Structure 1
Amino acid sequence: MFKIDKRYAKANNQKTIRFTDDLYMQLETIAKYEKISFNELVLQCCRYALENMEPLEKE
């Protein structure tokens, strides 16, 4: 289960990404509710996805 972790506040690598309006609003709402930055939430979502994805197949 995904849980909010506040240790991602000091990320320092920049990357521009684009979100659909719907996804952006969902993430913004969650970030405000949890009192964390939008960036912290996106980092946590990425970390969770990487830790829970199926292993890559070697070709």
Structure 2
Amino acid sequence: MEKFKVNTNDGKISSINRTIRLKPEYFEKIMELSEKTGVSFNKIVNQCIEYALNNMEEK
């Protein structure tokens, strides 16, 4: 399986507002990635979800 990579060329995405709770360590790691790459926190979270859903093992 290919490793996850932050896409820095991702355009604007349509979205739905929803409150989610993250473990503090996930929040900190995503914030670090956001600051390092210049990609918004929200876009990184969406990319992580897309990656997980596309690479999920189905039974």
Task: State the TM-score, normalizing by the size of structure 2.
Answer: 0.80
Aligned length: 56
Q: TM-score, normalised by structure 1?
A: 0.80
1:8-19 matches, within 5 Å, as 9-19=12-22
* Mapping 1:23-34, distance limit 5 Å: 23-34=26-37
Structure 1: gaps of 5 or more residues:
none
**CA–CA distance in 2 between the matches of 1:11 and 1:37?**
14
Superposition deviation, residue 3 in structure 1: 1.7
Share of identical aligned residues, percent? 30
List alignment gaps of at least 5 residues for structure 2. none
3-state SS, counterpart of residue 7 of structure 1: coil
| Higher Cα Rg, which structure | 1
Most deviating of 3-12 and 23-32: 3-12
Partner of 1:3: 5
Code of the residue aligned with 2:5 in structure 1: it is: K
Whose helix fraction is larger, Structure 1's or Structure 2's?
Answer: 1
Letter in 2 for 1:41: I
